[in-house]
Amino acid sequence: MHRFADRPAARYIIGFALAVILTAIPFTVVGAGLLTGPPAYAVIAAGAVMQVIVHLVYFLHLDLKSTPVENVFFLGFAAVLIFIMVGGSLWIMTDLHHRMM
Amino acid sequence: MSVSAVLEEEEKKSLEAREFGFWIYLMTDAIIFALLFATYVVLSKNSAAGPTSNELFDLRHTAGETALLLISSLTFGFASIAQRAGNQTHVVRWLIVTLLLGLGFLAMEMVEFQGMIAKGAGPDVSGFLSAFYTLIGTHGLHVAFGCLGIVVMIGQIQVKGLTQPVRSRVFRLGLFWHFLDIVWIGIFSVVYLPGVM
């Protein structure tokens, strides 16, 4: 018997199923009003981060063994740039909001 | 080594370089989107006495768009599998399904924009709406170019067959398509879900 996970289509189907679950959870939580405020944001953020990882692993086939090291390096470099620019913008702008109150 | 073997080796190297170049392009695109996200977060509460996100967004509509884009990532995956198996008919078939899902997504986005503009919530109303249309519009434009790319690749597959350069282009288009789905995860998590809360 073939192992299901060894077939190429299986990887996409597993990734798709995980993505559907990770989408359904935040939509249900927010849509049905199960949580509000910070706990709801936490669920949304956790779902988004996990789903991005699922997409990178199952759809873009990113892993540390077979992906060329340059690609992983550039992904990390982009992540650092994004962290500095997005984090910095939000930090400065929220600080500005406080001062204008 | 024979001349043809050398040429083949060179072509392989050149295609690998293009795949790496495309990856760098995707990272720069990720930075553009990240900054549009930051701009949106900063401006999202500045509705200038105009309509707010709570009044404008419809989660069911967003869920429909999400479903179309997510399924299209799966169908592009099936096209990639068919390509690895060398099955030209199946590659074209799955690309057409992906194209239809992409066009469906664009149609839903148009309907949403049109409905919002009809309600007096155009991009010139407030900082919130300017940032909204810029972010969602940039993603929509990318999907539109992705659809154009699929049309071009279907044409190339029909005319040239699944040659090595064509396979490499389909592979890069796949990276682009899956990447757009990742950006959409950010959009529903940052724009729509917090927007209706």
Contact A27 B31 (CB under 8 A): no
Q: Is residue A100 over pLDDT 90?
A: no
Q: Is the pLDDT of residue A2 over 60?
A: no
Q: Do B42 and A26 touch (CB under 8 A)?
A: no
* Per-residue model confidence as pLDDT tens digits over B157-191: 999 999 999 999 999 999 999 999 999 999 999 99
Which of B24, B71, B181 has its CB closest to that of A55?
B181
Q: Which residue do the tokens 């060894």 mark?
A: A6
Burial class (CB in 10 A: 0-12, 13-18, 19+), B158: exposed
Contact between A30 and B182 using a beta-carbon 8 Å cutoff: no
Please give the Cα distance from B135 to B127 (Å, whole number): 12
d(CA A62, CA B182): 13
Give the DSSP per-residue string, chain A: ---GGGSHHHHHHHHHHHHHHHHHHHHHHHHTT---HHHHHHHHHHHHHHHHHHIIIIIS---TTTS-HHHHHHHHHHHHHHHHHHHHHHHHHHHHHHHH-
Please, what is the Cα angle at B132 between B127 and B136, to 5 degrees?
Answer: 155
Determine the distance in angstroms separating the CA of B108 from the nearest CA of chain A, rounded to an integer.
Answer: 18
Question: Is residue B193 scored above 60 in pLDDT?
Answer: yes
Give tens-digit pLDDT for A46-68.
999 999 999 999 999 888 788 88
Confidence of residue A101 (pLDDT cuts 50, 70, 90): low
Is B63 touching A (CB cutoff 8 A)? yes
Comparison of pLDDT for B151 and B50, the residue scoring more:
B151
Cβ neighbours of A93 in B, within 8 Å: 42
Q: What is the pLDDT of residue A99?
A: 80
d(CA A84, CA B166): 38
The Cα–Cα gap between A55 and B26 comes to: 15
Residues in A touching B90 (Cβ below 8 Å):
none
The reported pLDDT for the residue numbered A1 is 46
Question: Minimal CA–CA distance to A51: which of A32, A26, A34?
Answer: A26
Averaged pLDDT score across all residues of chain B: 95
Q: What region, left, alpha or beta, does residue A37 occupy, with left being phi > 0 and alpha being psi -120 to 50 degrees?
A: left
pLDDT in tens, B63-108: 999 999 999 999 999 999 999 999 999 999 999 999 999 999 999 9
pLDDT digit string, tens, across residues A18-43:
999 999 999 999 999 999 889 999 99
Average pLDDT over residues B25-42: 96
pTM (predicted TM-score): 0.92
